[in-house]
């Protein structure tokens, strides 16, 4: 480790077994800490391993259920990178109250491609790939599949803030004879405001220092360490460096799991 600094990079490959929600790679030889959103499209998560969001999730679920009579519900979820937007969306998506719904998860990213989104939804609803190339045919196929269904759709990581394109996206998913709940995750407050319809955007707030420390303990296997009493105060100081960002706590927790006392001290004293 150079100058007591570490680097951790996120990437889209699993590094742990069943409970890893954020993907990352550590390289202790480098001297910067780089944290980025993990572009993960999986809808699987284990709720008991999510720290600090249970009460928040129940409030959001109550709002969604109040609006359930609407033909289409759009809930934008926004906040800074790494704060836990995708994980929060998964908690709602996997809620038992949606067990009787068809479910679709689409990772959108920076450029909205309506046909690509449409084809992904068709594939997930029907199990068959849409071979049409013309927008009118693709959208027509989607409308037929939406008919009479109760569906939860997650549009994960939208960046595009063009109001006309966002309206096209909403129009594409609207159906008079369906009940459709759409969760949109975005880093942009502008996107959240422009795509919202009948529910106010939900802003994901930073975690507390104690919550970050809980994540670090969880991910580092802290409870099984013989030196945990020595590390307690050091770990709490490291948790304050996370700034309430879940991805930072996850990254640090994973990295600290293989470190000894002296290395924990170096992380505590480093500029990250």
Query: How do the domains of the chain map onto residue ranges?
Result: 7-42+207-269, 56-203
Cβ atoms of 141 and 173 closer than 8 Å: no
Q: What's domain 56-203's architecture? A: 3-Layer(aba) Sandwich (3.40)
What is the rounded CA–CA span in Å between residue 25 and residue 9? 5
φ and ψ at residue 103, rounded to 5 degrees: -130, 140
Tell me the average pLDDT across 207-212: 94
Question: What pLDDT, on the 0 to 100 scale, is given for residue 28?
Answer: 34
Which pLDDT band holds residue 50 (cuts at 50, 70, 90)?
Answer: low
How does pLDDT run across 231-261, given as a tens digit for each residue?
Answer: 999 999 999 999 999 999 999 999 999 999 9
53 pLDDT band (50/70/90 cuts)?
confident
Q: Work out the mean pLDDT of the chain and round it to a whole number.
A: 83
pLDDT tens figures, 151-177: 999 999 999 999 999 999 999 999 888
């Amino acid at each position: 480790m150079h100058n007591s600094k570490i680097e951790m990079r996120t990437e889209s490959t699993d590094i742990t077994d069943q409970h890893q929600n954020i993907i990352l790679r550590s390289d202790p030889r480098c001297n910067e800490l780089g944290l980025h959103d993990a572009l993960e499209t999986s809808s699987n998560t284990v709720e008991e391993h999510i720290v600090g969001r249970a009460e928040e999730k129940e409030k959001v679920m109550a709002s969604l259920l109040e609006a359930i009579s609407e033909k289409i519900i759009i809930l934008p979820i926004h906040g800074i990178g790494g704060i836990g937007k995708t994980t929060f969306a998964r908690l709602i998506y996997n809620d038992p109250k949606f067990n009787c719904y068809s479910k679709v998860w689409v990772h959108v990213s920076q450029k909205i491609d309506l046909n690509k989104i449409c084809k992904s939804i068709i594939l997930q609803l029907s199990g068959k790939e849409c071979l049409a190339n013309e927008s009118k045919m693709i959208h027509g196929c989607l409308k037929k599949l939406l008919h009479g269904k109760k569906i939860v759709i997650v549009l994960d990581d939208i960046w595009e803030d063009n109001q006309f394109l966002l309206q096209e996206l909403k129009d594409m998913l609207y159906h008079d004879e369906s009940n459709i709940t759409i969760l949109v995750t975005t880093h942009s407050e502008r996107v959240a405001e422009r795509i919202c319809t009948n529910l106010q955007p939900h802003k994901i707030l930073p975690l507390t220092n104690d919550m970050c420390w809980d994540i670090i303990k969880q991910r580092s296997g802290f409870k099984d360490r013989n030196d945990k009493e020595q590390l307690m105060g050091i770990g709490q100081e490291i948790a304050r460096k996370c700034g309430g960002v879940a991805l930072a706590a996850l990254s640090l927790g994973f990295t600290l799991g293989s470190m000894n006392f002296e290395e924990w001290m170096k992380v505590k004293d480093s500029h990250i």
